[in-house]
Amino acid sequence: MNSTFRLPAFLNGADWKQLAGPLFIVMILAMMVMPLPPFALDVLFTFNIALSIIVLLASLYTQKALDFAAFPTILLVSTLLRLSLNVASTRIVLLEGHSGPDAAGKVIESFGHFLVGGNYTVGIVVFIILVVINFVVITKGAGRIAEVSARFTLDAMPGKQMAIDADLNAGLIGEDEARKRRSEVAQEADFYGSMDGASKFVRGDAVAGILILVINVLGGLAVGVLQHDLSFADAAKNYTLLAIGDGLVAQIPALIISIAAGIIVSRVSTEQDISSQLLSHIFSNSQVLYITGGILGLMGMTPGMPHFVFILLAAGLITIAWRTSQKQGVEKSREQVVAPPMPEPVDASWADVEPVDTLGLEVGYRLIPLVDTSNEAELVKRIKGIRKKFAREIGFLAPAVHIRDNLEIHPNSYRITLKGVEIASGEVQVGQLMAIDPGNVSGSLPGAATKEPVFGLPAIWVDNNLREQAQSMGYTVVDAGTVIATHLNHVVGLHAAELLGRQEVQQLLDHLSKDSPKLVEDLVPKLLPLSTLQKVLQNLLSEGVHIRDMRTIVEVLAEHAVRIQDPYELTAIIRVALGRSIVQQIYGREAELPVMSLEQNLERLLMQAMNASGESGIIEPGLATNLVDQAGVAVNRQEALGQTPVLLVPAVLRPLLSRFLRRALPQLKVLSHAEIPDGKNIRVTSLIGGTV
């Protein structure tokens, strides 16, 4: 039997990267409790120095702070590594320090002898200076910059988010780019906040370094004199040099890491790394270099000054300035040679024509918090919900609502636009509630009187703490975002026909062709052009008929388009096919349908007008006025009874009366006898035109 040894899944490939972090942290913690041999300390101290140099160089070559987003975590881990090494070295210094200066390894010995010449007094002074530089100057300054940057970044977040949303709504960027920019804004705030906190670790590390040095010296003296019978001078020399070497080998990497932190938070994001920035900004101006070289030259010629050093540096700066000016002159002459002639003023082009938003929402500056995507504003979520509800109920996906702020309107106002034209507007109070009077409230409330924007009901703006009181008195209470969302939903439903463009019609056909490809292929464009189909669907939507049942609509059109091309005739035929859906949309599942009807004389007059004027259906002005007035009275009576106003007429009159009465009485539904499905009982509640 053959068997193959396989590594566990967590040991394969990229899984090692996931284990590297936990293993490194466990190793750091183990160093605090497990004794390490001197050679291991040498390796780890060398690794610590290498790590600090790598971090410093990486910070020099970054172009913006987020390119080194892991820096706060690296700062914490490197601090823990140094402290663990201090604990491990302290253990071996106290245990083996009596044996000589190399008891804790060659690295500590080198730092204790070579860097400070074996003089522990000099070593203590150098160590204190390094700690002061790190703690007081670099770390404190970097922490202050990170704190201010974090505060400014958080303050600027809403503005940046609005700018991203404005670019997205204007079509300058796509959804992916907008999502990337929002992520960068959030990461920038998180980075500077983390840097502000991480700098405290370095400051604490500096304080710990001083305490560890004092503890090592005092502890070494006690161990050397009391346990190993060394003289006070020998014990002081051995343990002090070891403590100083241990402190320096930890503080120098800490100083390097602190410098890297200062570079990261103090740099300004450009297309250049920090080295290129310094060279281009300091040594690019030859005039500055000439003046500096001249000043150093004058100082060098002053009696008593070190002439050679000053004159040497002055000559070097003047040489650099001369080479820089020569190089800039050559580049300038090349630009003049190859520079093209000044372009002629560019004439206007089609690129200057900006398309208008199909559907837009403009808000005053006080309403910006309602549409601020960075705070997950409730109104933005509701607008998305409106589009989903519209698609489910009407039958097609409405265009996206482009939201933008408008400083030209009242701060508390909003405007709803259709193809760049205002179709509705209103005013709301942010932070207050609208208490709407449905007609049966039991009292009044303190607040500013207003009108509900959709149905014009009387309402009052009240404080949030009056919500329960208003509800107990019979008011309908909604917030400002709900008012705008309800108004937008109502307006979008009223203008559904205008929102259905050719692109939306084509998308409807593409969606239907996934299930019925042959049906769509046989209709458009073989039997019916896309423009005629669009007009038919717009006719249905303008009369409040949903187009969710596209399969039935396309099947009816495919059946009759061979002999009929007129969109109004096709609309009438489709309405008959959708009769059951239309009636259910108006009446629900009721078996009895209360309707209004035309008096026989009025019906006969309208028939004569149809025969005389043909399809145009021109009604004599006096008759038209009388018809509108009597229809209005009947509609009011029907609404007072809590019933939907529906006028039932012969099929030949339905298109004429529907178009004629729609403008004056938009709530009136006009049905034909052919659209009433079998099994429904008709009850005539009133006659229109009894006095004609």
pLDDT digits (tens, 9 = 90+) for 153-190: 666 666 677 767 666 665 667 777 878 877 777 777 77
- Kindly state the DSSP code that residue 277 receives in the 8-state scheme: H
Q: Which of 394, 438, 95, 50 is nearest to 253 (CA)?
A: 50
Tokens of 645: 């106003």
Tell me the backbone φ, ψ of residue 646, rounded to 5 degrees. Answer: -130, 130
Distance in angstroms (rounded) separating the CA atoms of residues 174 and 230: 76
Amino acid at 585: Q
Helix intervals (H) in 6-65: 15-33, 38-60
Distance in angstroms (rounded) separating the CA atoms of residues 195 and 399: 43
342's enclosing H/E stretch is: none
CA 484 to chain centre: 22
CA 516 to chain centre: 39
Q: Check pLDDT > 60 for residue 271.
A: no
Question: What per-residue confidence (pLDDT) applies to 241?
Answer: 74
Tell me the backbone φ, ψ of residue 146, rounded to 5 degrees. Answer: -65, -40
Digit-coded pLDDT (tens) for 335-355? 555 545 555 666 677 777 778
* Residue entry with tokens 């690019």: 284
Tell me the backbone φ, ψ of residue 387, rounded to 5 degrees. Answer: -65, -40
Q: Are strands 413-418 and 359-363 parallel, antiparallel or unpaired?
A: antiparallel
CA atoms within 13 A on the CB side of 644: 16
Statement: 500-577 belongs to CATH 1.10.8.540 = yes
Highest mean pLDDT among 213-222, 306-315, 505-514: 505-514
Amino acid at 306: P
CA distances from 556 to 310, 521, 650 (A): 98, 14, 21
Question: What per-residue confidence (pLDDT) applies to 2?
Answer: 47
Tell me the backbone φ, ψ of residue 2, rounded to 5 degrees. Answer: -90, 135
Q: What is the mean pLDDT of residues 117-130?
A: 72
Amino acid at 93: V
**Quick one: 591-692 is in which CATH superfamily?**
FHIPEP family, domain 4 (3.40.50.12790)
CA distances from 525 to 519, 561, 595 (A): 11, 11, 40
Helices 530-542 and 502-513, packing angle to 10 deg = 100
Statement: 359-496 belongs to CATH 2.40.50.140 = no
Helix intervals (H) in 301-377: 307-338
Digit-coded pLDDT (tens) for 4-39? 445 455 455 545 566 766 777 777 777 777 777 777
Cβ contact 456:424 at 8 Å: no
Q: Which of 44, 89, 133 is nearest to 245 (CA)?
A: 89
Helices 38-60 and 274-282, packing angle to 10 deg = 50
Cβ contact 359:470 at 8 Å: no
Q: What is the mean pLDDT of residues 567-594?
A: 92
Instruction: Write a three-state SS string for 149-217.
Output: HHHHHHHHHHHHHHHHHHHHHCCCCCHHHHHHHHHHHHHHHHHHHHHHHHHHHHHHHHHHHHHHHHHHH
Among 44-58, 195-209, 500-514, the range scoring the smallest mean pLDDT is: 195-209
Cβ contact 631:663 at 8 Å: no
Question: What per-residue confidence (pLDDT) applies to 691?
Answer: 44
Mark 449-458 as b/e (b = at least 16 C-beta within 10 Å): ebebbbeeee
Backbone dihedral region for residue 105 (phi beyond 0: left; psi -120 to 50: alpha; all else: beta): left
SS3 call for 255? helix
Helices 120-132 and 232-266, packing angle to 10 deg = 20
Digit-coded pLDDT (tens) for 222-237? 877 777 777 777 777 7
Distance in angstroms (rounded) separating the CA atoms of residues 183 and 160: 11
Q: What is the mean pLDDT of residues 234-254?
A: 75
Q: Where are the domains of the chain?
A: 32-144+193-275, 283-330, 359-496, 500-577, 591-692
Q: Check pLDDT > 90 for residue 204.
A: no
For the chain, the first-to-last Cα distance in angstroms comes to 105
pLDDT band for position 3 (cuts 50, 70, 90) = very low
Distance in angstroms (rounded) separating the CA atoms of residues 593 and 637: 16
Average pLDDT value over all residues in the chain: 80
pLDDT band for position 615 (cuts 50, 70, 90) = low
Digit-coded pLDDT (tens) for 533-564? 999 999 999 999 999 999 999 999 999 999 99
